[in-house]
Amino acid sequence: MSGTSLDGVDAVLAEFSPGQAPRLLKTHYLPYSDALRAKLLALHAPQADEIDLAARAANELAELYACAVDALCADQVRESIRAVGCHGQTLRHQPARGYTLQIGNAALLAERTGLTVVADFRSRDIAAGGQGAPLVPAFHAHVLGDASRHRIIANLGGIANVTDLPPGGPVRGWDTGPGNMLMDAWIQRHRQQRYDRDGAWAASGTVNPELLGRLLAHPYLASPPPKSAGREQFNLDWLGNLLAQQPAIAPQDVQASLLEFTAASLAHAIKNECRHAQEIYVCGGGAHNSQLMTRLAELLPGTRVATTAVLGIDPDWVEAMAFAWLARQTLHRQPGNLPAVTGARGPRILGAIYPA
């Protein structure tokens, strides 16, 4: 898995057996170099010769993905692997225009690893009229639901998304808005750090009510699910336009407001769409932001807020496990989407298979 945060590659070796809980056997993380991250960020906007630049970046990603697979797989293990599920790196996500684009050169990855690769998971759902995202709720429902407790699984990656798991009720899920993406970009610009450890910089500032109000007025937040979001909606250019509309704000106060924006937009979605939720379990990088976790608990009184570690899956690896599971669904010719989540016309088998 390499997601909207553009921080690197999360790779897992996972075992799925009928009637048993998934087993997380091994994990590996490979960070993006500054140069690769800069290339990928630049490709989110139109530029000269972008087809060549994107193709070369896809090859570079495939080599990095292959290194992650190599790190997980000793020779004696590799022969037992059915497939590699590869999400790829999203460059554009435009379901309203009928497409999404994740790069990673799955053919090269199959050649480099000698393993079957399943990739391009989102396109089929969009072809069926869906958003192509989020896809992880199907995995959350399969693994993390409870027959008696109303649970929410909140994935706080670059974008934040929720999975609503009411006992006996329909599974729902959608992107609630930004997760870590704006906070990461802002601290990178001002302090040359990739992320705000424990939300410490945000905690040193004060929320600016006027800026927070402008952030929360984004029309995406008021639109009903199904819906999905990305850098197209939430980015530094958009933030810069909002900042230009009011007196100058100290950088740490902007960071505090961005953290509050993530917490408030997520809490608002849960209060309005997931009434009577009893438990919220957080995964993704935001699970390590203690300031963000504290604000979520404060904004959702009476609801247990913890990480998915309580449920037996380390929050850092939930999404990578989800795409391993989605690859398994593809190989077994089983649907991987939930139409109630994505808005697709029906269940679809997702992904393209590149045989070993």
pLDDT in the model for residue 53: 97
Sign of CA dihedral 97, 103, 107, 110: negative
- What is the per-residue pLDDT across 103-145, written as a single tens digit (0 to 9) for each? 999 999 999 999 999 999 999 999 999 999 999 999 999 999 9
Distances (CA, A) of 336 to 39, 69, 94, 228, 316: 31, 23, 20, 17, 21
With 90 as the cut, is the pLDDT of residue 19 above it? Answer: no
pLDDT on residue 74:
79
Task: Determine contact, residues 171/165, Cβ cutoff 8 Å.
Answer: yes
Residue 284's pLDDT is: 96
pLDDT of 23 higher than 90: yes
Give residue-wise pLDDT tens across range 49-92. 999 999 999 999 999 999 999 999 977 788 899 999 999 999 99
C-beta atoms surrounding 139 within 10 Å: 22
pLDDT of 335: 98
pLDDT, residue 169, reads 86
- Residue 77 confidence (pLDDT): 87
Across the chain, mean pLDDT equals 96
Instruction: Say which amino acid occupies 301.
Output: P
> CB neighbours (10 Å) of residue 101?
16
275-326 confidence digits (pLDDT tens): 899 999 999 999 999 999 999 999 999 999 999 999 999 999 999 999 999 9
Looking at residue 75, what is its pLDDT? 75
pLDDT at 222 over 90: yes
Nearest alpha carbon to residue 134 among 173, 100, 101: 173
Query: What is Dmax (Cα atoms) for the chain?
Result: 62
Q: Which domains does the chain have, with CATH numbers?
A: 8-132+317-354 (3.30.420.40), 136-311 (3.30.420.40)
Give CA–CA dist 33/204, Å, rounded: 29
Instruction: Determine the pLDDT at residue 103.
Output: 98
- H/E stretch holding 176: strand 172-178
pLDDT at 76: 77
Mind listing the pLDDT tens digit for each residue in 156-203?
999 999 999 999 889 999 999 999 999 999 999 999 999 999 999 999
- Would you say 222 and 229 are in contact if contact means Cβ atoms under 8 Å apart? no
Cα angle 115, 119, 124 (rounded to 5 degrees) comes to 145
Q: What is the pLDDT of residues 243-258, one digit of tens each?
A: 999 999 999 999 999 9
| Whole-number pLDDT of residue 63 | 98
DSSP strand E in 32-131: where? 84-85, 89-94, 99-103, 117-119
pLDDT > 90: percent of the chain: 95
pLDDT given for residue 228 in this prediction? 96
pTM assigned to the model: 0.94
Question: pLDDT band at residue 152, thresholds of 50, 70 and 90?
Answer: very high
